[in-house]
Structure 1
Amino acid sequence: MRGSELLNKMDLISPQYIHAADIQPRTKRTGLKKWCAIAACLCLVFILTVPVMAASMPAFYNMLYTVSPATAQFFKPVQLSCEDNGIRMEVSAAYIHDNIAEIYISVQDLEGTKFDETIDLFDSYQINTPFDCSAHCILSGYDPDTHTAEFLITIEQWDEQDITGDKLTFSLRKILSNKKTYKGIINDVTLSDIQLNSTTQKVYPRGVGGSEFIEEYEDNPGQDLLTVLKPSDSICSPVDEVTLTAIGYVDGYLHVQVCYKDILKTDNHGTIALTYKKTGETVSADGSVAFFDDAGENSYEDYIFTEIPAETLDEYDLYGEFITSSGPIEGNWSVTFPLENADN
């Protein structure tokens, strides 16, 4: 289009359009304000709901704790006691000094029929802190009148940093109690008459005992399998859930094998020793190798004696110490409290 034609066409444009084009448009900020308001609402919702979610949704709390322990503990509300399955757990006292926290946790049987003085937390407890630490738990006392057990939890912060101003969550899932203890000579076994087992197998150990055997095993990183006796028919069962399954020699060492039933639920365990008939002297095992059965439920343990020749077996009696239980009491107990002196 030539210039003269453009001028002629412009004459056809309505004046109102020219006036409208001359007005400066006003920038609308309603969208930005709207999104700011939405963001503020979301932040408010997060602040208001996270504490509730952390308190009422263990899965959410665990997820948050995995991402940021400090954040998780910040949002975890203080709860000094809780009840479940007829059992009450409560924070009795706390003493914080330097990088060590000592906390007393009481566990009370409200029905008086759940547990006794043999109570054990079965390593099912969990301690959540916003800092790196090590901890252990021991039974410090039991009151039969109130059916209350007291446990001392000792927590030590790493790098010797002082513990100040943080919260701690102690949770518990299982309790063992009503345990039975057996100690004595196993009269059903006469070592001089026993048919020695010479059948062995290779196993992946779940545990190795005895300094000599532990050192040898750790010094051979490629040695994943260890040689033990292969279980045979039951020789005898000194107590329920505990069975002697083999006695024999492996590489010149006497092995006495015991099977503990369903240890993940019962924590059945014990030890085997020999007693010298003439003097009553006890000869402890020099080491042991423990391993699971194929189902991963029952645990076998070979107790190993390095200085007992086969021709001297008639000079000894077999001695055993065993602790068994009927199984755990399950529940969901959790307390959260500030790490400050609640009671000295």
Structure 2
Amino acid sequence: MFERTYKSMNDKIKAAPELITDTIDLMDNPGSRSRTRPIFRRPAAVAAAIVLCLVLATPALAANMPAIYEMMYMVSPAIAQYFVPVQEFCEDNGIRMEVVSTYIHDDTAQVYVIMQDITGDRIDADTDLFDSYSLHIPFDSMSHCEQVGFDEKTRTAKFLITISTMNGKDIAINGGKVTFSVREFLSSKVSEENIPIALELTAIGEANNLYTLGTGYNNNTYTYVGGSFIDGKSSDSYTVLIPGKAVYSLGKGMDITGIGYVDGQLHIQAMTYDKMTFDTHGDFQLVDANGSKVQYNSVCFADGMGTDNRIDYQEFIFDVSQERIGSYKLFGNYYSNGINTKGNWKVTFPLINSSEK
């Protein structure tokens, strides 16, 4: 039975002669590709030969094995997508994902995808794909995905995927199939803004427990993650507070773990322990009597980078002296999500016009 099924799968998927020719040309003349990677030409040619043998011998199997598929996509996105079967809906963990329409115009494709919870109440108006989605496209392109609607009655969220060619040519000329996949999403958003922080600012003194944070990954206690700076200038290292015990909580998963003056500037450190799961984050505002807010620089770093016990810190730096701090009040903003749903959702669709279902 398996033999007949397997043969049927392979018989339906055949490589076009020109596709095979292009692949052989790729191996013989790697410089012919528009997107060259000189350092990896020899390994890429070997990989292409292996992939070609696999797809010619067992195309259905190759297209459905993630490792082989990713190798195919690395060598040639067009070949990889050619062998992926069209599947415009899928279900996993009680969530259904489906392509409902595709609109092609000039160099842009707009694709509408819906996600519906068919067993519970995990999809809502604030459903966030949490940067967990990926798009496999058979040509050089720019793309993004955003939520554009929510049906309260059916608990269905609608997302718009926009794809544009890099060379400005019509999508119809490039054609092919696109694979859209999602690993997880967030819902039940929590948002609390302008929270009064009940700390006596005039009692804050010089910070003593400091740490010099380098921007390189050098296996130190803390790892630099990034930052934002008013003047747009960054540095090779930053002086930050050594995290201590929580002195104030803005909400679940976010605490103030340090506050003090460093070189005449006020540092306020926030710790989040579930940022990678619920996207917990926030910021602080120093507001004067006229309602004016002080701009700040910020530095982000992590403890336990790359582990399940990762803790994130963000240090907010305000250029307000101890002499002037009494004229300000401190407020905080807190954002998080109550539900993280994981799964393996994947759809593959042709880049052709189709009306909404």
Per the shorter chain, which TM-score range?
Answer: 0.7 to 0.9
User: TM-score, normalized by length of structure 2?
Assistant: 0.76
SS at match of 1:272: strand
SS at match of 1:325: strand
Residue 35 of structure 1: aligned partner? none
Q: Is structure 2 residue 101 aligned with structure 1 residue 90? A: no
Q: Is the 8 A contact 2:87 2:348 kept in 1?
A: yes
User: TM-score, normalized by length of structure 1?
Assistant: 0.78
Residue range with higher mean Cα deviation, 178-187 or 242-251: 178-187
Matches within 5 A, 1:194-209: 194-203=204-213, 204=215, 205-209=224-228
Residue 301 of structure 2: aligned partner? 291
Residue 236 of structure 1: aligned partner? 248
For residues 87 and 324 of structure 2, the distance between their equivalents in structure 1, rounded to whole angstroms, comes to: 62
Residue 192 of structure 1: aligned partner? 202
Q: Residues 61 and 193 of structure 1: is their aligned pair in 2 closer, same or farther, counting only changes over 3 Å? A: same
Matches within 5 A, 1:37-52: 46-47=55-56, 49-52=58-61
Say which of 176, 190, 206 aligns to 2:186.
176
Residue 343 of structure 1: aligned partner? 355
Deviations 1:121-143 (CA, angstroms, capped at 9, x unpaired): 01000000111112222111111
Q: Is the 8 A contact 2:96 2:116 kept in 1?
A: yes
Matched to 2:200, the amino acid is T
Matched to 2:134, the amino acid is Q
Matches within 5 A, 1:1-344: 46-47=55-56, 49-55=58-64, 57-164=65-172, 165-203=175-213, 204=215, 205-212=224-231, 215-217=232-234, 223-276=235-288, 278-279=289-290, 281-296=291-306, 297-306=310-319, 308-326=320-338, 328-343=340-355
Give the deviation of 1:44 after TM superposition. 11
Deviations 1:271-299 (CA, angstroms, capped at 9, x unpaired): 111122x33x1414332111111445111
For residues 77 and 330 of structure 1, the distance between their equivalents in structure 2, rounded to whole angstroms, comes to: 24
Identity over aligned residues, as a percent?
A: 40
Structure 1 residues without counterparts, runs of 5 or longer: 1-42, 218-222
Matched to 1:206, the amino acid is V
For residues 229 and 104 of structure 2, the distance between their equivalents in structure 1, rounded to whole angstroms, comes to: 37
Deviations 1:231-266 (CA, angstroms, capped at 9, x unpaired): 222111120100001112223222211111132222
For residues 324 and 155 of structure 1, the distance between their equivalents in structure 2, rounded to whole angstroms, comes to: 29
For residues 195 and 327 of structure 1, the distance between their equivalents in structure 2, rounded to whole angstroms, comes to: 39
Residue 40 of structure 1: aligned partner? none
Q: Which has the larger radius of gyration?
A: 1
SS at match of 1:159: coil
For residues 230 and 182 of structure 1, the distance between their equivalents in structure 2, rounded to whole angstroms, comes to: 27
Give the deviation of 1:187 after TM superposition. 3.6
Give the deviation of 1:47 after TM superposition. 4.5
Q: Is the 8 A contact 1:103 1:152 kept in 2?
A: yes
Matched to 1:244, the amino acid is I
SS at match of 1:311: coil
For residues 261 and 298 of structure 2, the distance between their equivalents in structure 1, rounded to whole angstroms, comes to: 13
For residues 294 and 48 of structure 1, the distance between their equivalents in structure 2, rounded to whole angstroms, comes to: 45
Q: Is the 8 A contact 2:101 2:113 kept in 1?
A: yes
Matched to 1:300, the amino acid is Y
For residues 337 and 145 of structure 1, the distance between their equivalents in structure 2, rounded to whole angstroms, comes to: 27
For residues 330 and 161 of structure 1, the distance between their equivalents in structure 2, rounded to whole angstroms, comes to: 37
For residues 56 and 245 of structure 2, the distance between their equivalents in structure 1, rounded to whole angstroms, comes to: 63
For residues 189 and 181 of structure 1, the distance between their equivalents in structure 2, rounded to whole angstroms, comes to: 22
Structure 1 runs (4+) greater than 4 angstroms displaced: 43-48
Q: Residues 290 and 45 of structure 1: is their aligned pair in 2 closer, same or farther, counting only changes over 3 Å? A: closer
